[in-house]
Every structure is written in C-alpha cells, then in structure tokens.
Structure 1
Amino acid sequence: MKIGEICNRSVVTISKNASILEVAREMREHHIGDVIVTERSDGAEKPIGIVTDRDIVIELLAEEVALSTVDVGDVMSMTLVTAPHDADLFETLRFMGIKGVRRIPVLDDDGGLYGILSVDDILSVLTKELSFIAEISARQIERERSSRE
C-alpha cells in the first residue's frame, strides 16, 4: 500500500513569518497537533518545516517565552523529514521510526505538499487490516460448520 492512498490530504499550512499565536489558533480551530510551514516555489507549495504542539510547549511555554515575540521560523523544525506519495507504507513506518517522527509530510512528484501521514493514520489502517484478518478466521470456522450440516 502506498502512503498517498492513506495520508490526510487536508493539511493546514502557514508561512514561516507567521506568529506562534497564529499557529496555536490554527491548531485549536482545526483540532490538530501540527502545522506544516510552506513557501511557494516553482508555482507549488513546498514544505520547509513543521511546528508541533510539543514544540510550542517545550521550546516556548516551558521556557516562559512571550509567544507574541516569536515567529514560526524561530521554532519550526528545520530538518524536515518527508516521504514521496508513492512510498510503501511499511517502509515509511520504519523510516519514521528511525527518524523518531510521529508525522511526516507527503510530497508529490514535484516536491510539493501532497498530504501528511501520522502514526495515528497508520495505526487506523493496521487496525482495519487486523480486523479483516480476524474476520477471515471467523468465516472459515462458519464455512466449516455449514459444510458439515
């Protein structure tokens, strides 16, 4: 399965010049824990960083930094870990584990933002697949019972 099939295509983005307060408002409004920082390049919106709720808490709130004085570019993770939309789900999961990230921007063929994939998205897919496997066993038992009648 390719990650482009399961990633969330509705990605909230923001400019690196936006304030952290704007990011927090976007997170609250959309009930999300991350915002992708993008810039326009070659006519496409390309991801250049990510800000998570954890970044805000650990880097700013815990250090008692006045949020009104900080821009997104000051806090965003600069070493953005990404994956192409046609990457294999399990390879991407391993890659995320190696890099220690819970969320990964998904790129289109031109390096533009295609979507975002989270560990929760992967868990949801795996849960459905495991449920399907359990159904196979139950159906096999039922088939065996009905063939004996």
Structure 2
Amino acid sequence: MTDQPTTTYHLTPRTLDLFVRALVNEVDYDIHKGYECGEEDGLDHYPELVAEAAKMLDAITAGQPAAEIPMETAAHVLWQDRLGGWPPSTFATKLLSLWTSADTDNAARLAVAFPDYAAAIALVNSGQDGIQQLRAIAGDS
C-alpha cells in the first residue's frame, strides 16, 4: 500500500447524502434512479443507503482519535452562535468570523490548522445533542 496524502474533509449528514448520491450517479445512472425514485413505491430510498454509509464510516473511523475540545474553545464556539459560553479573544473572534464566511475548501483548511475549533463547530452543527455536549465541555449547562 502506498502512502496517500492526508486530506481532511468536513462531513455533515447533508454532505454525506450529496456525496453518496453523486457517487452512485457517477457509477451507474440506472441504479441512481432506482434509489432516487423506487420502482415499486416511487419513494426516495437514498436515506437508507446514506444511513448504511454512515455506519460504515463510523466503523472505519472508530479507531481514530477525535480532536479534543478544550473548555475555552467550546465556550467560544457557543458564544459565536449565541448559545452560551463566553467571548473569545480578538484572534479567536476573527477566526470564528472567518470560518463562518469560508467556503468548503477553506473551511477544510481551517479545520486542519484548528482541529479543536473544527470539532466544536461540528458539534454545534450536529444539532441539539451536539450543543448539549459542547455546553457540558464548556461547563455551561
């Protein structure tokens, strides 16, 4: 096996859904249409395929360490989204502001440089459970 360059991806349920749809469409358009509009019921069956892909990704990445989120980082991200926490320093304020205006490629670059902020932002974006986890890290329950 050759060494592959390390690339970081920002994966959300939405981007996973888009990726699976695009990949299946690229591999075989007829299979894509079969998932998108089931022959027997006319329903979109991609959610089941995406859920299975998510399980596979979880199994593949289970052994990889997650980025640790310091209390201060959790509080800053919560503050940025008006969900609690406390105000960050000038640098962190500008960093979070930059992150909110970054396109996907630049957000991925920021995630490589600041994995703790990337993990905290991912928790906020994951919904209420993620926000609760971030509040617990920040001691802001």
Q: TM-score range by the shorter chain?
A: under 0.3
Q: TM-score, normalised by structure 1?
A: 0.24
Bigger radius of gyration, 1 or 2? 1
Q: TM-score, normalised by structure 2?
A: 0.25
More helix by share: 2
More strand by share: 1
